[in-house]
Chain A
C-alpha cells in the first residue's frame, strides 16, 4: 500500500507541476498593440457636441455589460429601455445577467478570471479595492477628461472633495461613482404628531427640545416609555453623532475623526464630545424617556410598540415611514393617528448632517481596452449615467410613451403605473417591470441633477429634502488617508478589536451599566492600551505624507 501511495503522490505532483507550467504560457499580449492604434482614432468623434449632451454613434456599436437583476423587476429582453437606448445612441448592450442576490460574488469571479464584461456597474466605493493590484480594472480617473458630463457635474455640484475620498495610493481612482446634486438624508426620527399636537408639545428641532418633549410626554403618560428605537439604535447614533462632533452607530468607522481646524485626525471615542453624547442618551434612559431595549430588541418588536401606541418616537426612513402608516391603518384605524418624519435634531455642534453624495457606480474592466471603440464607450457611459438626457431616459422613459411633461413636471401616461414611486396605482403597464425604466442599474433614486432627483420623490419627501437642504448644513467629507496594503492591514488590526470595545462600552454607558463619572477614565485608559494612540499616529503619518497627492 505504501508504495502505491508513493506512486500516487508522485503522479499528482507531476501532474500539478505540468499544469502550472502550461498555464503560464497563455497568450495575453495581443491587445496592447491594438490599444495604441485606437488611441488616436478617438477624441475627434462628435466634435459638434463637446459637452456630450446627445451621444450618437454613426456606426452601430456593441458593448458588454454586467447586469444585476433585481427580483422585483426581472430582466426582459424586449424592454423598451434597450430599444430606446439603441434608437438614441446606436449602441446595443450585450449583457451578462446576474441575480442581484449574488452579484458581488459573480463580479469577483468574472474579474479574477479575466472574463469580465467591459462595463461593470453597481459597484459601491470601496468594493473596487480588491481588484486594483491585479490591474484588472482601469484607473478611470485617467479618462474623465473624456467624460464631459461627469466632469461638469463634479465641478458644478462641488464634488471634488467627495471624489478625492475615492483616491488610492497612486493618486488615482478606479470606480466612477454615481453622483447626487442634492444630499438626501433619508434616516431620521418619526413622531406621533397627533399625540404631540394634542398635548401642545412643539415638534422638536434639537436634541434638547426632544428631551423636553419626551419629558412632557412621560408626565402625561406615566406608563409609557415614549421613545423606543429600532435598528439597535445604530441609525439614531449615526444621525446624532455629527451634531455632537463625533461619529457613531452605522457611521462609527474605524475611530478616526478628522479635525478640520487642526488638519489632523484624532481618536474621537475618548473625547469630551463623545462623552457629551453618551451622557445625553444616558439621561434619556435613566429618566425613563427612552426604552433601554432600544439597543437590543429586533425591529419588529420596536415597530410593534410604535404601531400599537406603546411608544411615540422611533427611527425611520421614508420607506419605513410609509410602512408604519400602513400598519397603523390596520391597528388603529384610518384617521386615528398622524405620523411624520422630523428633521434630524440639532446638537451642540449645530444643525449639521454628515454623509456623502457619492454612490454606487461603474468600474471598467481592462478588457475594454481591447475594444476598438473604447473611447466611444467612455462617451456612451458619460451620456447614459450622467447626462440629463440619459438620466431622463432611464428614469422616466420615452416621452409620449411612458411619460409626458406637464408644466415642466414629469407625469406618467395614464396607463403606466410605477408602484415603487406610488404613482398611478391603477395603470396596466409597469414602468419597471414592463418597460425597464427606473432601473437600479442605471439610476440612483435621488441621484443626478436636482430636478430629476426631486421628480422621483413624493411631495412629502420633497418637502423634507428641501427643508433639510435649507436648514441643515452638510459637513464636508473627511479627506482620504492613502494607506498602502501593509498599512491598511496594520490599521485594521488595531481598529477592529478597539472599535468592538468602544461599541460595547458605548452601550454600557448609555444604559447606565457603566458610570460616566467613575468608569470613564478607566475606559479611556483601556482604549489607549488597545492602541488608540498608535492608530492615530499611524493615520496622521500616512495622511501627512500623502495629502499632497490629492491636490
Chain B
C-alpha cells in the first residue's frame, strides 16, 4: 500500500507526540524507583534524576521487615477483592434492568439514581448511618457505602442497551429465564465493558483512603493507602510554624516514601496487562445474522 507524504508526516508527528506522552507518564515512576534505591545523601543533595546513586536495597529491607506494612497490604488486597466483587455484582443488577425500556417506573428509578450524582447526604449523616448499621470498624464500612458508582452504572446501562434485543429474545424463546439470559448471554457479550468496570472499581478501591480513614478506628484494619498517606503527608502537615511542637516535625526519609509508593502502586499497575486482552474490538461481529 502506498503511503502519501501527508500521511508520513502525520505518522512521524504522531509517534513523536506519543513518545513525549510516554516519557511524561513514565518519568515519575522511574524517578521514584531511582530515589528508592539511592542512598540518602544523594537524595538530599538533589542529585538523582533517572538512575539511582549509591545503590542500596536497605530502604526496601527496612520497609519489608515492617509487620504493619504487610498487615495494611493484606487489608488492601482483601478490601479490593471483596469490594470489586460486590461493586460489580450490585452495579450489574442495577444497570441491567434499567436498560430495559419496558421496565415499569424506569424513569423514576433512573431519576433517583441520577439524583445521587449531584446531591449526597453529606459526610456527617453518612457517617451516622454507617455507624447505626453497625458497620464501623468492619470491612463492610469500606466496601458497601461506595459500592455503586452512579457514573459507571450509567455507562453499563448504555452498553446493555446497545446489545441486540434479538439475541435475548432468541434465548427467551429457547426457554431461558431472565437470570439465565443475563448470566449466559448478556455478560459474556459484555466482557470488554465488564473488564473496564473491574479495572475502574479495583483501582478505586485500591487507592481508597477516605472511607477507611473515616470508618476505621483500629490500626490493624488500615489499608496500605492510609499507611502511605500518613507516611507522605503526616509529618509535612505540621509544617513550620512557631507554634507546633518540635517533636512532631520529624520527617520520614524521601527514600522510604518512594519505596512505599512503588510497593503500593506496583500490584495495581500489574493488573492492567491482564485485563488488556479483554479490551478487544469486535466481539460482537458475526453474532447476528440476517
Which A residues lie at the B interface, using CB under 8 A? 1, 4-5, 7-8, 11-12, 69-72, 74-77, 95-102, 106, 109, 112-113, 115, 124, 178, 186-187, 231, 235, 238, 250-251, 300, 317-319, 326-327, 330-331, 355-356, 359-360, 420, 438, 440, 443-447
Contact = CB atoms under 8 A, between A and B. Distances in A.
A238 B232 CA distance: 29
A71 B237 CA distance: 12
B247 A445 contact: yes
Interface string B172-197: 00000000000000000000000000
Given A69-B230, A96-B217, A250-B242, A109 B235 contact: no
Contacts of B234: 69-71, 99-101
B108 A101 contact: no
B250 A250 contact: no
Nearest to A420: B250
Q: Which 10 A-B pairs rank lowest in CB-CB distance, beginning with the nearest?
A: A99-B230, A445-B247, A101-B233, A96-B217, A71-B234, A100-B234, A101-B234, A8-B111, A97-B219, A71-B230
B237 A186 contact: no
14 contacts: A7-B108, A12-B115, A69-B234, A71-B252, A74-B68, A99-B227, A109-B214, A112-B124, A113-B124, A115-B131, A319-B249, A327-B44, A355-B242, A445-B247
A109 B243 contact: no
Contacts of A327: 44-45
A231 B246 contact: no
Given A4-B108, A330-B45, A186 B246 contact: yes
B240 A231 contact: yes
B218 interface: yes
A440 B235 contact: no
Given A74-B68, A101-B233, A101-B234, A444 B245 contact: yes
Nearest to A75: B219
Contacts of A438: 247
Contact of A330 (B41, B238, B251): B41
Interface string B209-251: 0000110011110100011011111110110111111111111
Contacts of B252: 71-72
A100 B237 contact: yes
Contacts of A69: 219, 230, 234
B59 to A, nearest CB: 15
B3 interface: no
Interface of B: 41, 44-46, 66, 68, 107-108, 111-112, 115, 123-124, 127-128, 131, 213-214, 217-220, 222, 226-227, 229-235, 237-238, 240-252
Given A109-B123, A113-B128, A113-B131, A97 B246 contact: no
Contacts of A8: 107-108, 111-112, 115
Contact of B243 (A72, A102, A359): A359
Nearest to A358: B243
Q: Is the interface of A mostly helix, strand, loop or mixed?
A: mixed
Contacts of B244: 124
A420 B219 contact: no
A359 B247 CA distance: 12
Contacts of B227: 74, 99
Nearest to B216: A97
Contacts of A77: 219-220
Contacts of B108: 4, 7-8, 11
A300 B44 CA distance: 10
B247 A97 contact: no
B213 A99 contact: yes
Contacts of A112: 124
B230 A101 contact: yes
Nearest to A64: B217
B107 A4 contact: yes
Contacts of B242: 187, 235, 238, 250-251, 355
A113 B112 contact: no
A320 to B, nearest CB: 9
Contacts of B128: 113
Given A106-B213, A109-B127, A250-B242, 4 more contacts: A74-B219, A75-B219, A420-B250, A445-B246
Nearest to A7: B108
B72 to A, nearest CB: 10
Contacts of A359: 243, 245
Given A12-B115, A319-B246, A102 B213 contact: yes
Nearest to A115: B131
A440 B220 CA distance: 21
Contacts of B241: 250
B107 A300 contact: no
Contacts of A1: 107
A67 B117 CA distance: 35
Contacts of A238: 242
B255 to A, nearest CB: 14
Contact of A113 (B127, B230, B231): B127
B246 A446 contact: yes
Q: Most chain-A Cβ atoms within 10 A of its Cβ — which of B112, B115, B213?
A: B213
B222 to A, nearest CB: 8
Nearest to B243: A124
B234 to A, nearest CB: 4
Contacts of B218: 97
A101 B107 contact: no
A49 to B, nearest CB: 30
Contacts of B214: 106, 109
A147 to B, nearest CB: 21
A5 B111 contact: yes
A444 B232 CA distance: 23
Nearest to A124: B243
A51 B105 CA distance: 72
B110 to A, nearest CB: 9
Contacts of B243: 124, 356, 359
Contacts of A71: 230-231, 234-235, 252
Contacts of B247: 420, 438, 440, 443-445
A71 B247 CA distance: 12
Contacts of A330: 41, 44-45
A134 B101 CA distance: 50
Given A5-B111, A251-B242, A440 B213 contact: no
A280 to B, nearest CB: 21
Nearest to B127: A113
B116 to A, nearest CB: 11
Contact of B250 (A70, A178, A360, A446): A70
B111 A4 contact: yes
Nearest to A186: B246
Nearest to B107: A4
Nearest to A251: B242
A1 B110 CA distance: 12
A70 B248 contact: yes
A441 to B, nearest CB: 10
Contacts of A99: 213, 222, 226-227, 229-230, 234
